[in-house]
Structure 1
Amino acid sequence: MYQTKPQRLIIGKGQISGYISIFLSILALASILCFIFPEKLTTPEFREIYTAQSMQILIKAVIILSFGFALLSLLLSKKIQLAAIGAGIAGIAILLGVLKVQGSAVQKSSWYFGLDWMLLDLLLMTVIFIPVELFFPKNKNQTKFHEEWRTDLVYFVISHLFIQFFGIITQKPAVVFFGWIGLDKVHIWIQQLPFFAALLIAFFTTDFFQYWAHRIFHNHVYLWRFHSVHHSTQHMDWLAGSRTHFIDIFFTRAITFIPLYVLGFSPAVFNTYIIFIAIHAVLIHANTRINFGFLKYIITTPQYHHWHHCEDPKYYGKNFAALFPFIDMMFGTYYLPEKVWPEGTGVHESQYPKGFVKQTVYPFTKSPFDDNLKMEERSSR
């Protein structure tokens, strides 16, 4: 099991502002690379949402903030190391032409990395969830720099950079099995619905399909090998949800994509769905006690999903729904004690290796179950 080694940053010592400066300058530098190599580093679907001009303004603001935090770090700490790194990387971004980058037509490419999507999502999630976890933590003793955060960050980066690959392989089953039916009339009917009605249908149908895909991964011993990687984290936070094996991603997203393909939602509904799900998935894994009052019975919350990750075998097989608790109620898998949280998270039966590569290989070679664990206990997941 992982051993927590707190590396706490003290407010007012210049460390926090120094790390913020480095983080922002790296984002700016990577964003400049997106402008220089747009065909290979940006996602066609997302290029239609944002404009080159808006991104230029955002990059300039990020660079200015990076220099500001570098200066603050220097003034507070009286040490130059962190401030110099942040300012140096920001300076390289400027030298690459941030102030002169112009938007232009982007040629089509047969392959690309989703660097733009990764940077925008990383910036958005850190701006939202790091303050939430700092000011409203569930586990006050959990440091941001616990032993698992680097591994989870790699998962986050990989899943975003390979957005084209995961998009193609997860859409393929739906196209193969339903593409021959002729769905144009269904698509027209769905797209004529009021926006919020169509969005609600998208949420419910995808969550229903996701529920059963999720439950299958828990109930099937061999598939659990792969899904258990996601459950192996012992430090629930905003990055923990990114820890997902690629086999798990393929199967679950492929099943979830079926209603999106069959019903053919409008781009506005689809994009709203993607953005909401991305934020909500991070929220329910976050280290925060925010519980939304009575709304916790309508939509899943961190408390609800933390119980799904509980390491105590007594609570295995609970709370499979990603969005709507009533789906768990329908099928007898609902569990939400009033104000009680699980004492710990993780996989009780096994010790997982550290690092993305080792965790990717692990399910192909070993089962997380002890040889002495009874079959009925396994199937109860």
Structure 2
Amino acid sequence: MNKYINIFKDSYQGYFNYLISEITSFHWDNYFYGLIIVSLIVWGLEIAFPWRKNQKIFRKDFWLDTFYMFFNFFLLNLIVLIVLSNTAESLFNDALGLVNLNLSDFQLLDLNALPFGVGLLIFFIITDFVQWNTHRLLHRVPFLWNFHKVHHSIKEMGFAGHLRYHWMEPIVYKSILYIPLAIIGGFNVEQVAIVHFSALTIGHLNHANLGWDYGVLKYVFNNPKMHIWHHVKELPENHKNGINYGISLSIWDYLFGTNHVPYNGRDIELGFDDDEKFPKTFLKQEAYPLSQEK
């Protein structure tokens, strides 16, 4: 028990010190200022090349989504994710130890043994594929869908909507991603930072007020014209659980038949059934899934 109490204390202290360091210093892989820079660039693109020209620069829920962006990216980690991640990792390793195993026994690939570019590509593809499958689960499992509704309560797309999600979502994503990443192993800080900022930029662009699809690359990379259909309120009859689940890559949807872009979706209605009853404030949105379970 003392071990897990120490994990709790060390996690909070370690992440708090890390967060202060990020805010007070600047370096190429600084996540705090990286988020601000990427957000300002994509917001600038929205202003310069708006797809929905009648949509205001400070669109509906702009400030709510901005709060979500910083809360989910930094404060959420401080409050819960780091502790849960470190505890889950320790519990998993302790469980393996009971049967005289450790995680290295399951490692199939060491990315450090590969050329940097090859290892980076494998890390990116595996991470994205696992997240694509996790995203499908969020739509197909009713319990998880109640949490994911927070993200789908967006009524006007904009870059900051990318990070409007319930705190439970990253717990699900990180829990499912933990074992696949442990199996490939060997990724380093530089690879994590590159994949992180690539996914952040693509995600911001996907939610931005931009009418881009990247031409032939739309079959590889998720894009605004494809992702807006993921948020459509009225889903097609043959895909009632959802469509276009891609995170950074669209290729999984094309490979597994969940792609759907029937026409220019610039002005489609976004949301889900009965979304007019969904809470409009941060605290009520965070409490919504638990109230539904009751």
TM range (shorter): 0.7 to 0.9
Preserved CA contact (<8 Å) 2:229 2:243? yes
> Residue 43 of structure 1 aligns with which residue?
19
User: What TM-score, normalized by structure 1, do the two folds share?
Assistant: 0.62
Give secondary structure in 1 for the equivalent of 2:275.
coil
Give secondary structure in 2 for the equivalent of 1:366.
helix
Preserved CA contact (<8 Å) 2:47 2:57? no
Preserved CA contact (<8 Å) 2:52 2:266? no
> Residue 213 of structure 1 aligns with which residue?
134
Counterparts of residues 56-135 of structure 1 (less than 5 Å): 117-126=31-40, 128-135=41-48
Q: Structure 1 residues 310 and 338 mapped into 2: Cα distance closer, same or farther (>3 Å)? A: closer
Q: Percent identity?
A: 27
Whether 1:269 and 2:184 are equivalent positions in the alignment is: no
Whether 1:324 and 2:249 are equivalent positions in the alignment is: yes
Counterparts of residues 136-215 of structure 1 (less than 5 Å): 136-162=49-75, 163-164=77-78, 165-170=80-85, 172-173=87-88, 176-177=91-92, 180-183=101-104, 186=107, 189-215=110-136
Q: Structure 1 residues 213 and 185 mapped into 2: Cα distance closer, same or farther (>3 Å)? A: closer
Preserved CA contact (<8 Å) 1:136 1:290? no
Shift of 1:262: 2.8
Structure with the bigger RCO (C-alpha within 8 Å, sep 6+) is 2
User: What TM-score, normalized by structure 2, do the two folds share?
Assistant: 0.79
Shift of 1:363: 1.6
Q: Structure 1 residues 250 and 287 mapped into 2: Cα distance closer, same or farther (>3 Å)? A: same
Shift of 1:186: 4.0
Shift of 1:230: 0.5
Which whole-Å deviations, capped at 9, do the CAs of 1:144-192 have from their partners, x for residues lacking one? 2233112111111211232343244246545644675342894873112
Shift of 1:243: 0.8
Higher mean alpha-carbon deviation, 347-356 vs 192-201, is at 347-356
> Residue 229 of structure 2 aligns with which residue?
307
Q: Structure 1 residues 340 and 182 mapped into 2: Cα distance closer, same or farther (>3 Å)? A: closer
Q: Counterparts of 1:177 and 1:356 in 2: how far apart (Å)?
A: 33
Q: Counterparts of 1:189 and 1:261 in 2: how far apart (Å)?
A: 10
Q: Counterparts of 1:39 and 1:312 in 2: how far apart (Å)?
A: 41
- How many residues align? The count is 266
Q: Counterparts of 2:163 and 2:90 in 1: how far apart (Å)?
A: 26
Q: Counterparts of 1:226 and 1:322 in 2: how far apart (Å)?
A: 17
Q: Counterparts of 1:168 and 1:42 in 2: how far apart (Å)?
A: 14
Preserved CA contact (<8 Å) 1:202 1:259? no
Q: Counterparts of 2:108 and 2:189 in 1: how far apart (Å)?
A: 12
Counterparts of residues 291-370 of structure 1 (less than 5 Å): 291-314=213-236, 316=240, 317-337=242-262, 339-341=264-266, 343-351=268-276, 352-366=278-292
Segments of structure 2 that go 5 or more residues without pairing to the other structure are: 1-13
> Residue 254 of structure 1 aligns with which residue?
175
Q: Structure 1 residues 257 and 336 mapped into 2: Cα distance closer, same or farther (>3 Å)? A: farther
Shift of 1:287: 1.0
Which whole-Å deviations, capped at 9, do the CAs of 1:44-91 have from their partners, x for residues lacking one? 8x75xx994x57xx9xxxxxxxxxxxxxxxxxxxxxxxxxxxxxxxxx
More helix by share: 2
Task: Please tell me the residue identity of whatever aligns with 1:118.
Answer: F
Q: Structure 1 residues 294 and 169 mapped into 2: Cα distance closer, same or farther (>3 Å)? A: same
Q: Structure 1 residues 336 and 365 mapped into 2: Cα distance closer, same or farther (>3 Å)? A: same
Task: Please tell me the residue identity of whatever aligns with 2:275.
Answer: S
CA RMSD of aligned residues (A): 3.0
Give secondary structure in 2 for the equivalent of 1:304.
helix
Q: Structure 1 residues 39 and 236 mapped into 2: Cα distance closer, same or farther (>3 Å)? A: closer
Q: Structure 1 residues 172 and 305 mapped into 2: Cα distance closer, same or farther (>3 Å)? A: farther
Give secondary structure in 1 for the equivalent of 2:258.
coil
Q: Structure 1 residues 286 and 324 mapped into 2: Cα distance closer, same or farther (>3 Å)? A: same
Q: Counterparts of 1:186 and 1:134 in 2: how far apart (Å)?
A: 46
Q: Counterparts of 2:56 and 2:178 in 1: how far apart (Å)?
A: 36
Shift of 1:263: 1.8
Q: Structure 1 residues 172 and 329 mapped into 2: Cα distance closer, same or farther (>3 Å)? A: farther
Preserved CA contact (<8 Å) 2:59 2:158? no
Larger Cα Rg: Structure 1 or Structure 2?
1
